[in-house]
């Protein structure tokens, strides 16, 4: 699955933030980022609810419905 305009060297999220994840295989889910990692090629990945996620998986595919992120005020 290719996404236009995704910079895989840019960190889009910080630890503690809620995010919607659209994995290449499986159902989309909402989770909290626990860690931001960088591999030897400087590609950014995230650990969301114990699952390693690449930057491209943070964006929905063309025509895929977006998930709503609901959280309590102050979080």
Q: What is the pLDDT along the chain (75 residues), one digit of tens a residue?
A: 566 777 878 888 999 999 999 998 889 999 999 999 998 988 999 999 999 999 888 888 888 888 888 766 655
Q: Is CATH 2.60.40 what the domain over 1-61 is classified as, yes or no? A: no
Cα–Cα distance, 56 to 1 (Å, whole number) = 8
Q: Could you tell me the pTM of the whole model? A: 0.79
Q: Note the pLDDT of residue 12.
A: 87
> How is the beta sheet containing 29-38 ordered, strand by strand?
18-21, 29-38, 44-48, 51-54
Q: Note the pLDDT of residue 29.
A: 93
What does the domain layout of the chain look like in residue ranges? 1-61
Angle, CA of 54, 6 and 9, to the nearest 5°: 65
Q: Note the pLDDT of residue 47.
A: 96
């Amino acid at each position: 699955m290719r996404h236009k305009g995704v910079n895989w060297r840019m960190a889009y999220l910080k630890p503690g933030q809620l995010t919607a994840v659209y994995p290449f295989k499986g159902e989309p889910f909402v989770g909290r980022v626990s860690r931001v990692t960088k591999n030897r090629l400087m590609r950014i990945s995230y650990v969301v609810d114990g699952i390693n996620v690449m930057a491209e998986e943070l964006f929905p595919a063309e025509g895929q419905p977006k998930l709503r992120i609901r959280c309590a005020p102050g979080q």
